[in-house]
Structure 1
């Protein structure tokens, strides 16, 4: 019998199947505009994954919001996509180095109280046996 790969977090009314990321097409990387916060350590990991130095990465890929840094977005029609999203491959160009905010998706406080929105956004979210949208 195959071991379940479903992830759960205390206080969240859903489970997450990370294998859905392979076929989803980046639902969590596209959509409404928002911030993808990064720490200095994450900047270093992202720059290394892209073969860049941190100052060059920061200049090309980050925006300062108050005292914090966020990954820039690009406008795609009426939606926005993370600058590091690779539309041709349908996924994150730096998946193994992605920031903690991305790694923790869909277990965000926002979705704790809105599980139906998590299901609508992500094919890996399973609420009462109901998976999210197909790719």
Structure 2
């Protein structure tokens, strides 16, 4: 049984407009192996890919962002089609959303419910 107090309907992503890929500036962390898979998927030499799309944050690596109006978006968010252009090889951080550890804490759930159309509170069983 899931430890989360919500469930997620991925069909809602189609109508969302990419709210999990856009908004405030942040980090899109990826491992070296994930970055290698993305570079391969894009058919770009790994070193060129790193120079063009990745920034180092301490000991970690993050995909860069692009500015769209007054917000930021993952560099791989396709604004025309409102979808991820590397969906098949997106990093674990993206694959796991919205099931992040921070959302195990009930106090963070209201913000998630506002941000993600696919998140729905689980109904509490009647006792």
TM-score, scaled to structure 2? 0.89
- Say which of 56, 67, 83 aligns to 1:64: 56
Q: Give the secondary structure class of the aligned counterpart of 2:34.
A: helix
Return the offset for 1:128: 4.4
Return the offset for 1:49: 1.6
Unaligned runs of 5+ in 2: none
- Say which of 27, 33, 36 aligns to 1:41: 33
Instruction: For 2:33 and 2:14, locate their aligned partners in 1 and report how far apart those are by CA, in whole Å.
Output: 26
Instruction: For 1:13 and 1:67, locate their aligned partners in 2 and report how far apart those are by CA, in whole Å.
Output: 32
Once the two structures are superposed, residues 74-93 of structure 1 have per-residue CA deviations (whole angstroms, 9 ceiling, x without a partner) of 12222110001000010100
Aligned twin of 1:76: 68
Aligned twin of 1:50: 42
Return the offset for 1:31: 0.6
Instruction: For 2:103 and 2:54, locate their aligned partners in 1 and report how far apart those are by CA, in whole Å.
Output: 25
Is the 8 Å Cα contact of residues 111 and 117 (structure 1) preserved in structure 2? no
Q: Give the secondary structure class of the aligned counterpart of 2:120.
A: strand
Return the offset for 1:126: 0.9
Return the offset for 1:112: 2.4
- The size of the alignment, in residue pairs, is 121
TM-score, scaled to structure 1? 0.84
Instruction: For 2:54 and 2:20, locate their aligned partners in 1 and report how far apart those are by CA, in whole Å.
Output: 18
* Moved beyond 4 Å, runs of 4+: none
